[in-house]
Structure 1
């Protein structure tokens, strides 16, 4: 199956997401001639790797199940030019580990880790983690922590930083858990890379997502298991 990487645009003017109305957008995709933010496009969990280090880029792309090309329009040359990639953070970490001989790559990793640590709000993260485990008592503790950290990063606009998230709205918290299950426990990312449109891919994996959520809500031997079918 040929891979079809999503294309992410760095807009030259201020744009807002056509779905959640967040903005101005640093990066976006275009669907039906309308801007869509990366979180709504299910790409918000990816991290940006700027072009320039060929070996690091190649390894990160190879290790990432889902990745996207980032482009920006050059008005002078009247064309879109590649700025880098969005890749999974774990894939980038693996690529950097493979490039440990490169001191610059090690420095980039330290800087990225420092930014990530600075973005965490410990109190919000802990409250959100506790609420995830209250709603989904059989969710593995490390997954609840991972979801809470991702959803509550400062400046992300994700559910943990919204009014609904801070008030622990059941729907908002469930949405954060569902998004994690979509990427980790289903073949959703692989479907996107295979060229399946986002809305079709979501429909195809919806039963698998609900199966995991039901298991996490009620407990049982199947709780926490991955669904890859």
Structure 2
């Protein structure tokens, strides 16, 4: 059997209950074209749950033996729009407890996922550092560590985060080392700041970069 929930209206103007004469009415139902307050409609024991939390709303509705839909007329859109539900207080308390437990479980899961991602990121960085030292055995260990960390920083889009970088492609690894040398061991950045076009600056510092790479390739 399909359930038909009562519809409760939040009136836009002052209304009086047609049975007990109470006014003004914050919420009411309409029976025989007349406003009826929630107490007279036997809905006064229900509590209001605003819309917005889908999981909480679903659980409270499913756990409530009696519930009602709350609507308000939108004059601009010329239609009634849902504002929330009226549900049994005990059902809402149970729903809130269940959602809180879910939130705690999700937080624990996010923490576990973050730890796993951090572990994978550390593995990527360590593998890149090892490959740098394999290709450039003369590179100081602390420089290899810094280059690997910089190139594999999460979300950076740098060489270490690309497919080639993760696969430890020789060209990708060398590109990461060359970029580090360009910025640290040459006056490339100074040239850029002085207005030298990028391509010209790269040409000027290319011999110095290659000299460092040759030295680092030597065992």
The TM-score, its normalising length taken from structure 2, stands at: 0.46
Write 1 or 2 for the structure with the bigger share of helix.
2
| Structure with larger RCO (C-alpha < 8 A, sep 6+) | 1
Structure whose alpha-carbon radius of gyration is higher = 2
The TM-score, its normalising length taken from structure 1, stands at: 0.44
